[in-house]
Amino acid sequence: MSATPTRIEALHDWYCRNVIPMRLTPEVERLWFEWLKAGYNGNDLRDVIRYIRRQIAERKRNEGALKLTNLIQRSEAGFIGFDQDLGLARARANLNVDKRLERSPDAPPSSHPSQASPSSHPIDRPEVPADTLKRLREAIE
């Protein structure tokens, strides 16, 4: 889908109804345009807002995280903050305590017999989409 004016207005209206009412200025319109052009969509926005609201309720974040300029702030590296929040939101949605983490591909084999392998303990394993992981890796490099 392209970043059409109709789509931008619909996203902005949804944001205003569900998060913070604000005017659709040319600067805000450009921010939405760039965000859509980067490949994000309304479902991504909903998931991140839901995640941030949980974080606020748990007192791990403050309400300012929901301000549009904080939420979809563009930097030289792209929308890295939004991308990270989206990855965390999806990971949280996919938590499953019965899944085990595999051994890291670059982890040396354990030589000490008392050290349990990481895969021997049941822990949460977030399922993060490959495209999100790729963007995160590119941003780190």
**pLDDT tens-place string over residues 69-112:** 999 888 776 778 899 999 998 887 766 544 555 665 665 665 54
pLDDT of residue 73: 83
Give yes or no for a contact between 50 and 89, defined as CB atoms under 8 angstroms apart: yes
Whole-number Å distance between alpha carbons of 70 and 85: 11
Give yes or no for a contact between 135 and 78, defined as CB atoms under 8 angstroms apart: yes
Question: How far is 9 from 1, CA to CA, in rounded Å?
Answer: 14
Kindly report, residue by residue over 32-69, the tens digit of the pLDDT. Answer: 999 999 999 999 999 999 999 999 999 999 999 999 99
Interval 9-38: pLDDT, tens? 999 999 999 999 999 999 999 999 999 999
Q: What is the pTM of this model?
A: 0.64
36 with 11: CB under 8 angstroms?
A: yes
